[in-house]
Amino acid sequence: MTPILSLRDVDKKYDGTLVLEKVSLDVGERDVLSVVGPNGAGKTTLLKIMAGIEAPTGGKVIYRGKPVGKENLDLVRRRCTMVFQRTVVFNTTVYKNVAYGLKVRGFPENVIRRKVNEALELVKLIGYEKRSAKKLSGGEQQRVALARALVLEPELLLLDEPTSNLDPKTTSIVEEAITYTNRYKGTAVVIATHNIFQARKICRRAVLLLNGKVVESGSVEEVFLRPSPLMAGFTGVENVFMGDSRPTEEGTSLIELGGGLTVEAAVSKSGRVTLFIRPEDIIVSKSPLK
């Protein structure tokens, strides 16, 4: 795996407080990496450093083999795009929101029109072009922000909690767009999340960030299916099952675990799946719950 971007012993301090400490990791070609950890672990700060938005206090950021500093931030910024957890859309139409980056980069209008249509189709917003982005629902605004990033066809896409607080249907649209972009456009993706199901579903590798330190890394199978005590402690997951899933019309899934046991999950997924259940989410009852 040839690294697109590497971090070596990266530190970050805010007002003397150490937020990231000696973080080292690589993002390879066509990689899909999840950075999992609790709130306050430093996930957003890490993504900002990778995007060239924040400068590290110490350590090195290396892009395509070249050290990144103040003098060559464009090396990263023109090739990486970040979508923040708190969606920000411009006070104009959906079309102009998505077209903005292309206009700034000087693309001709016919190319802009084609690329915007492709991006809107990918996030299922065809027909929304003339609508005010500010008047859309939160989930629709999140898809506008994602389309605005995807239309630039970045080498590296950085996503901060991309489906936080989204309904199952919108979550599925966003996840499908991410997977398509990685698989067919060759875009490497880094996702900061505390959703281990999502990380297991669409990522190939994972790192666990605790108190600003990378304490575990590996393939998603290694990290989630055979978790270390640290990962198990973070996720709270002690019950891992395999089952067959079928989607419902409501956007959820019914998962058959065998032995007459069926679990409904708030995601739409078909086929063989891995199911994680936290002990505190289990309710024992003598009669069906309503």
Last residue of a domain, one of 219, 235, 251: 235
Kindly state whether residues 199 and 101 are assigned to the same domain.
yes
Kindly state whether residues 188 and 167 are assigned to the same domain.
yes
| CB 11 within 8 Å of CB 17 | no
Kindly state whether residues 186 and 246 are assigned to the same domain.
no
Tell me the mean pLDDT in the region 204-220. Answer: 91
What does the pLDDT read at residue 51? 94
Lowest-confidence region among 122-126, 174-178, 219-223, 273-277: 273-277
Comparing C-alpha atoms, which of 41, 50, 72 is closest to residue 4?
50
Kindly state whether residues 96 and 165 are assigned to the same domain.
yes
Kindly state whether residues 210 and 86 are assigned to the same domain.
yes
| CB 187 within 8 Å of CB 157 | yes
> How many Cβ atoms from other residues are within 10 Å of residue 129's Cβ?
17
> How many Cβ atoms from other residues are within 10 Å of residue 254's Cβ?
14
Residue 288, domain member (yes or no): no
Kindly state whether residues 119 and 87 are assigned to the same domain.
yes
The Cβ-side half-sphere exposure at 282, using a 13 Å CA radius, reads: 10
Structural domain that includes position 268:
239-281
Lowest-confidence region among 111-120, 124-133, 237-246: 237-246
Residue 238 has pLDDT above 60, yes or no: no
Residue 65, domain member (yes or no): yes
Give the chain as a 3 state SS string: CCEEEEEEEEEEEECCEEEEEEEEEEEECCCEEEEECCCCCCHHHHHHHHHCCCCCCEEEEEECCEECCHHHCHHHHCCEEEECCCCCCCCCEHHHHHHHHHHHCCCCHHHHHHHHHHHHHHCCCCCCCCCEHHHCCHHHHHHHHHHHHHCCCCCEEEEECCCCCCCHHHHHHHHHHHHHHHHHHCCEEEEEECCHHHHHHHCCEEEEEECCEEEEEEEHHHHHHCCCHHHHHHHCCCEEEEEEEEECCCCCEEEEEECCEEEEECCCCCEEEEEEECHHHCCCCCCCCC
Residue 289, domain member (yes or no): no
What does the pLDDT read at residue 196? 79
Residue 290, domain member (yes or no): no
261-265 and 239-247 strand pairing = unpaired
Residue 219, domain member (yes or no): yes
Per-chain mean pLDDT for the chain: 89
Kindly state whether residues 231 and 243 are assigned to the same domain.
no
Residue 136, domain member (yes or no): yes
Residue 277 has pLDDT above 80, yes or no: no
Kindly state whether residues 231 and 253 are assigned to the same domain.
no
CATH code (residue 130) = 3.40.50.300
| CB 230 within 8 Å of CB 216 | yes
Report residue 207's pLDDT band, with 50, 70 and 90 as the boundaries.
Answer: very high
Beta-carbon contacts of residue 174 (< 8 Å; ≥ 6 apart): 123, 142, 143, 146, 162, 163, 166
Instruction: Decide which of 107 and 37 is more confident.
Output: 107
Kindly state whether residues 210 and 225 are assigned to the same domain.
yes
Tell me the mean pLDDT in the region 82-107. Answer: 94
Residue 261, domain member (yes or no): yes
* Total domain count, the chain: 2
Distance CA 2, CA 27 (A): 8
Kindly state whether residues 26 and 7 are assigned to the same domain.
yes
Amino acid code (one letter) for 118: E
Kindly state whether residues 260 and 229 are assigned to the same domain.
no
Kindly state whether residues 130 and 212 are assigned to the same domain.
yes
Report residue 214's pLDDT band, with 50, 70 and 90 as the boundaries.
Answer: very high
Instruction: Decide which of 5 and 288 is more confident.
Output: 5
Residue 279 has pLDDT above 80, yes or no: no
Report residue 268's pLDDT band, with 50, 70 and 90 as the boundaries.
Answer: confident
Residue 287, domain member (yes or no): no
Report residue 141's pLDDT band, with 50, 70 and 90 as the boundaries.
Answer: very high
